[in-house]
Structure 1
Amino acid sequence: MPADPATLLHDIFGFERFRGVQEQVVTRIIAGRNTLAIMPTGAGKSLCYQLPAMAMEGCCIVISPLIALMHDQLRSARALGIRAASLTSADADWRETQDRLVAGELDLLYVAPERASGAGFRSLLERARIGLFAIDEAHCVSEWGHDFRPDYRLLRPLLDSFADVPRLALTATADEHTRQDILVQLGIEAEGLVISGFDRPNIRYAIQPRDGLMRQIGAVMDAHPGPGIIYAQTRAATEKIAESLKGRGRPVLPYHAGLPPDVRAANQAAFIASEDMVMVATVAFGMGIDKPDVRFVVHAGLPKSIESYYQESGRAGRDGDPAVATLLWGAEDFVRARQRITEVDPERQKGERARIAALGALVETGACRRAVLLRHFGEDPPPTCGNCDNCLAPPPSVDATTTAQKLLSAVYRTGQSFGLGHIEAVLTGKPNDKIAQRGHDRLSVYGIVEGEETALLKPVARALMVRDALETNEHGGLQFGPAARAFLRGEEKIALVLPPARQRRGKRNGEANPVGDPLFEALRACRRTLAMEAGLPPYVIFHDSTLRDMAARRPRSLADLALISGIGERKREAYGQAFLDVIASFEGG
């Protein structure tokens, strides 16, 4: 008979109760029922297979897309006392691991989909007792998903050859179409779909047009002293931003696929172990990051889709503490994204256009950002959240339809070949040689914009580019996009959201120790020492929230430590006395 899940939850993981849909998923798996769990990042997906692996007979096979992610989860599982191993190209002990699997000495075995779908691996499993298949990042199985991996499509024969073994698919991001595709591809019944809410209330969303990128990034860094990730769109941008940030008193490293493998691995390891490092990365630095104490994520350009943005921004605040996700975008991002559509298969172009339109709605809205995100995933959220830039400081808006018509008219009458600077000069009646030589000072649009309307020209041009009404040619000149004539004829309106005034200095936020408790800092120092001795990232020992609870409650014994959330038996035995000694030293003082 399986062990009691509630007892295991307390004894192994140190929690008094399940979160969200965890209990529903765990109960289904222990009962042998196939399940697809849609749970947001930070909702505790790994517990949904780790706990059943301890409760049931046999080994849980975890299929995961990245070696770095497997090894990160491996460290955390072993710290809990779970017998875990991985079979990857980076593991030299593969013979020993196979022997342990066959001998029944493993609770968890992590493998990549490429290995899991092979005939040799299936033969190995036939010699062992298997209790569960867990397919992590399951959206990779769907061609409709934003991270399609063909090898995930080859998993179904393996799963079907062990028909009596329950299968659990897990993902944080899947719209309705992708969910249905996952169910079909992995052979999970429709009734096995379990959806948690997508909301991450501890993340504050902020979206701004790029206006001095390094200054904007610097303001976020200054306000959030903990670890952070900055996503850049190209390798060159990654290197440039990382170099520019190195003088700000924080360790900063780059990460992209063009770096040598040993440098990538070293940079990632340094970030995982750090309590204040900033990683500047392309999305190659993605699913392999299971670091719970990331305090901010900055996108220095437009992500691929709302699904990608949700997943990438969701790498902030996995520990439940306050975090911020800032997106800095430019109209040119939308132009490039639409140009890339022509490079994909024709049958996928409609879906790609819909993704760009959804991103446009997110960045341009003057309403609640969180509500836009949650509605995209099929939820019905309240109209305001109180924790995004628009809710915290509602932006003013103006009807800029007439200004848009003036700008489009000027683009048309100057021949659809000049950049915005020239168009602005024509509309505002600024004489110069270029305008005079081409006779643009004799056009009907010359000088028709004045006063406060002048300040609207740049944001209106940006809005028209987002809406596919303006695009740039190969020389940077503005020309009509497919939606231009609808705006010229007044069939489409523009309610322009005005960006907030530039702030000189960011307020420090989301600090690990907001009340400045010296005991908390001493506990952090103790954690840092223990982590270095054990060769582990500090968060694997305990999260900041656990240390704050310790500092507040000041336990005096190992039995007292058992009452603090996040401290299971194994960690209490391994590390408890060291922290009790620190607390005792403060009591004595």
Structure 2
Amino acid sequence: MTQTSHHPAPLNILQEVFGYPAFRGAQEAIIDQVSQGGDALVLMPTGGGKSLCYQIPAIARHRADRGVTVVVSPLIALMHDQVGALEEAGVHAAFLNSTLSSEQAQHVEREMMSGRLVMLYAAPERITNPRFLAQLDSLAERGLLSLFAIDEAHCVSQWGHDFRSEYLALSLLHERYPEVPRIALTATADDLTRADIISRLRLEEARVFISSFDRPNIRYAIIEKDKPREQLLRFIRDEHENDAGVVYCQSRKKVEETADWLVAEGLKALPYHAGLDAAVRQKHQDRFLREDSIVMVATIAFGMGIDKPDVRFVAHLDLPKNIESYYQETGRAGRDGAPADAWMAYGLADVVNQRRMIDESPAGEEFKKGQRGKLDALLALAEATDCRRVRLLSYFGEASTPCGNCDNCLLPPATWDGTEAARKLLSCIYRFQQNGGQRFGAGHLIDVLRGKATDKVTQYGHQSLSTWGVGADLPETQWRAVLRQLIALGHVVTEGEYMTLALADSARAVLKGEVQLLLRVPAVAPKRGKLTRGNRPSGSGGSGAPTDLDAAAQDRFDQLKAWRAEVAKEHGLPAYVIFQNVALAEMARQHPRNLEALGQISGVGAKKLEAYGQEILRVLDAD
């Protein structure tokens, strides 16, 4: 049967299965393209509804007797949650991964081969395994191989921030099954990564859908490091008491030390990194997904595919590698659309460390050059005095206007003419090189500029340099900010194991006074609540709990959350898989008296109405 131009089937599925009244953004066009057998590359921000873009075509094509959709997913945790959510919604889905016993895996394979299964989630290395490919061959011969969905598609690109070599083999899907449509999805990809995805996955004929990268509910703030642990604690206590959040650190050691420190300060914090025992990692991840108010302190080993919608903040205690990483990591906050924060503290050592990691990597020079360019773009974002969101979106090729909701918009930073200070600093580095060809680090440079007679200054006779004491009028914090910005601008480079300082070619123009440098004044931490006056979406407070409920509705909301926690525990699933907070808040607000009214609430699909409707009505009417 040919669909009409309105393609009612996908909309019916959206309403009946998932309980949502209408599509968002480009979802409908993407779903139509894939449902009708076309390929697609989808760039859509985290929380934008990417999963529905392949789940609805999978359901539609299965109902048309097209068989199973195979979803490529790199993470076991994501597979579990997605399958759990689909089964809750009445869609027959399963996963194949190392957590299954051989009997369980065989049962899943039988369901797949019979055509009864709608969606199967598996990792790329399993999908390209000869035994599994033989099973796909059999399905394809019988016309029961419906669709391939490749999630986290940026993993295929060496230019992406999370390259995984096993993704490279996925090009064989096109070669082996040219008639089976494919949809590749990612939240982050610049032009270079996008081109790489198309080339490596053979998606030259695919329609490309690029949604807005803007996450208006996230407020971005980047501050200079000054006792960063205490800055982090102040941020959490002032703005996110009892909230779920993620704190990213660069090293495993720092993850464990930071988590221990936060626990000692009375927070529920857990460490997560690849060096922990797999069982410990799984336990910590499960607690984060299933409990409220957990702060996960982690390396970048944690996060991809984490579907928890009510993460209220993502904090960085170290600078990420590039804007793609920063955007992907901060995007894990506020997936439910309620206000969330992306907070980062960074300093001179971060800049030096990231440059060193690039320089010392075994990669080729062309790749290193690309990585340096990406780091420079992130440093420009960190040092910016204008709207963070405009800069961030511009990086992904999207024009925008000042958001009124980032730190620079809410509290415009003071700037000063740092040209003379920069010339003094560059001149001092030049004098070191002239005075015996020695090179020194940041601490010694600032001591000389401020006229501080340390043993090292005396040892090298640097009190006799013409630059000795010329910067005594500025505090050490300001000199560090000047140096950091000069490194960020590329006028100073760091070299060798001890990260000594040298002049870049572009320093010559600054020394000659041909370039004016307007620099940020080192910021003072804002007072409690100072940043909360921006244009933040209403309807939720810091904890993701609704703030616009009256006392009776709030009581109903609390009762519904308690009921949901019991159901989630019984089913072995995170609470948000049963119903998200936004759906519970709407139930509490509207107080439906019958199943028909309850079924009109967004997020209540037919299966959930049948499974939980009477229980929800009972909870709502309980005294």
Alignment TM class, shorter chain as reference: over 0.9
Answering whether residue 598 of structure 2 is matched by residue 575 of structure 1, we say no
Match of 1:510 in 2: 542
Match of 1:400 in 2: 418
Cα distance in 1 for residues equivalent to 2:496 and 2:365: 22
Cα distance in 1 for residues equivalent to 2:431 and 2:199: 54
Match of 1:263 in 2: 280
Aligned to 1:21, which of 8, 11, 26?
26
Q: Deviations over 1:231-253 (max 9, x none)?
A: 11010011010000003433211
Match of 1:345 in 2: 364
Answering whether residue 156 of structure 2 is matched by residue 124 of structure 1, we say no
Answering whether residue 152 of structure 2 is matched by residue 137 of structure 1, we say yes
Q: Deviations over 1:430-463 (max 9, x none)?
A: 4556545644333322332344677631210221
Match of 2:307 in 1: 290
Match of 2:10 in 1: 5
Answering whether residue 577 of structure 2 is matched by residue 558 of structure 1, we say no
Cα distance in 1 for residues equivalent to 2:154 and 2:510: 38
State the one-letter code of the partner of 2:303: G
* Greater mean deviation of Cα atoms: 574-583 or 24-33: 574-583
In the superposition, relative to structure 1, how do residues 414 and 144 fare at CA in structure 2: closer, same or farther (>3 Å)?
A: closer
- In the TM superposition, residue 320 of structure 1 has moved relative to its aligned partner by 1.1
Q: Deviations over 1:408-439 (max 9, x none)?
A: 22233345544444433433334556545644
Cα distance in 2 for residues equivalent to 1:393 and 1:183: 41
* Greater mean deviation of Cα atoms: 234-243 or 455-464: 455-464
Residues paired across the two proteins, number: 585
State the one-letter code of the partner of 1:456: Q
1:143-222 matches, within 5 Å, as 143-190=158-205, 192-222=207-237
Cα distance in 2 for residues equivalent to 1:452 and 1:181: 48
Q: Deviations over 1:339-375 (max 9, x none)?
A: 2223222231221111111111110101111111111
Match of 1:541 in 2: 578
In the superposition, relative to structure 1, how do residues 574 and 450 fare at CA in structure 2: closer, same or farther (>3 Å)?
A: same
* Greater mean deviation of Cα atoms: 508-517 or 297-306: 508-517
* Greater mean deviation of Cα atoms: 191-200 or 476-485: 476-485
- In the TM superposition, residue 539 of structure 1 has moved relative to its aligned partner by 0.6
Q: Structure 2: 5+ residue runs without aligned partners?
A: 533-540
Answering whether residue 404 of structure 2 is matched by residue 386 of structure 1, we say yes
Match of 1:50 in 2: 55
Cα distance in 2 for residues equivalent to 1:21 and 1:257: 36
Match of 1:89 in 2: 98
Give the secondary-structure state (helix, strand or coil) at the position aligned to 1:181.
Answer: helix
Match of 2:45 in 1: 40
Match of 2:520 in 1: 497
In the superposition, relative to structure 1, how do residues 533 and 118 fare at CA in structure 2: closer, same or farther (>3 Å)?
A: closer
State the one-letter code of the partner of 2:388: R
Aligned to 1:444, which of 458, 466, 470?
466
Query: Contact 2:247–2:314 at 8 Å: present in 1 too?
Result: yes
Query: Contact 2:477–2:522 at 8 Å: present in 1 too?
Result: no
Cα distance in 2 for residues equivalent to 1:168 and 1:61: 11
Q: Deviations over 1:544-586 (max 9, x none)?
A: 1112212211111221111111111112222233332222125
Cα distance in 2 for residues equivalent to 1:432 and 1:17: 69
Cα distance in 2 for residues equivalent to 1:348 and 1:213: 32
Answering whether residue 358 of structure 2 is matched by residue 358 of structure 1, we say no
State the one-letter code of the partner of 2:469: G
Answering whether residue 547 of structure 2 is matched by residue 524 of structure 1, we say no
- In the TM superposition, residue 475 of structure 1 has moved relative to its aligned partner by 4.2
Give the secondary-structure state (helix, strand or coil) at the position aligned to 2:311.
Answer: coil
Q: Deviations over 1:251-287 (max 9, x none)?
A: 2111111111111111111111012101111111131
Give the secondary-structure state (helix, strand or coil) at the position aligned to 2:90.
Answer: coil
Cα distance in 2 for residues equivalent to 1:91 and 1:157: 26
Cα distance in 1 for residues equivalent to 2:573 and 2:476: 56
1:241-320 matches, within 5 Å, as 241-320=258-337
* Greater mean deviation of Cα atoms: 21-30 or 553-562: 553-562
Match of 1:464 in 2: 486
Cα distance in 2 for residues equivalent to 1:141 and 1:326: 29
Q: Deviations over 1:387-427 (max 9, x none)?
A: 21111111111110110111222233345544444433433
Query: Contact 2:310–2:544 at 8 Å: present in 1 too?
Result: no
Cα distance in 2 for residues equivalent to 1:23 and 1:246: 46
- In the TM superposition, residue 110 of structure 1 has moved relative to its aligned partner by 0.7
* Greater mean deviation of Cα atoms: 437-446 or 33-42: 437-446
Answering whether residue 407 of structure 2 is matched by residue 375 of structure 1, we say no
Cα distance in 1 for residues equivalent to 2:396 and 2:418: 30
Aligned to 2:74, which of 65, 89, 95?
65
In the superposition, relative to structure 1, how do residues 219 and 453 fare at CA in structure 2: closer, same or farther (>3 Å)?
A: closer
Match of 1:78 in 2: 87
State the one-letter code of the partner of 1:59: V
Cα distance in 1 for residues equivalent to 2:368 and 2:573: 45
Q: Deviations over 1:47-103 (max 9, x none)?
A: 111111111131111011122221221111111111011111222211111111111
In the superposition, relative to structure 1, how do residues 361 and 347 fare at CA in structure 2: closer, same or farther (>3 Å)?
A: same
Query: Contact 1:461–1:470 at 8 Å: present in 2 too?
Result: no
Calculate the aligned-residue CA RMSD, in Å.
Answer: 2.2
Aligned to 1:427, which of 435, 449, 472?
449
- What is the TM-score with the length of structure 2 in the denominator? 0.89
Give the secondary-structure state (helix, strand or coil) at the position aligned to 2:621.
Answer: helix
- In the TM superposition, residue 483 of structure 1 has moved relative to its aligned partner by 4.4
State the one-letter code of the partner of 1:123: A
Query: Contact 2:245–2:314 at 8 Å: present in 1 too?
Result: yes
Match of 1:411 in 2: 429
* Greater mean deviation of Cα atoms: 143-152 or 27-36: 143-152
State the one-letter code of the partner of 2:171: R
Give the secondary-structure state (helix, strand or coil) at the position aligned to 1:246.
Answer: helix
Give the secondary-structure state (helix, strand or coil) at the position aligned to 1:380.
Answer: coil
Cα distance in 2 for residues equivalent to 1:558 and 1:82: 21
In the superposition, relative to structure 1, how do residues 335 and 492 fare at CA in structure 2: closer, same or farther (>3 Å)?
A: farther
Cα distance in 2 for residues equivalent to 1:336 and 1:454: 20
- What is the TM-score with the length of structure 1 in the denominator? 0.94
State the one-letter code of the partner of 1:68: A
Cα distance in 1 for residues equivalent to 2:206 and 2:290: 41
- In the TM superposition, residue 40 of structure 1 has moved relative to its aligned partner by 0.7
* Greater mean deviation of Cα atoms: 190-199 or 315-324: 190-199
- In the TM superposition, residue 217 of structure 1 has moved relative to its aligned partner by 1.4
In the superposition, relative to structure 1, how do residues 245 and 180 fare at CA in structure 2: closer, same or farther (>3 Å)?
A: same
State the one-letter code of the partner of 2:523: P
Cα distance in 2 for residues equivalent to 1:268 and 1:393: 36
Q: Deviations over 1:184-228 (max 9, x none)?
A: 222224551111111111111111122111112112322113211
Query: Contact 1:470–1:484 at 8 Å: present in 2 too?
Result: no
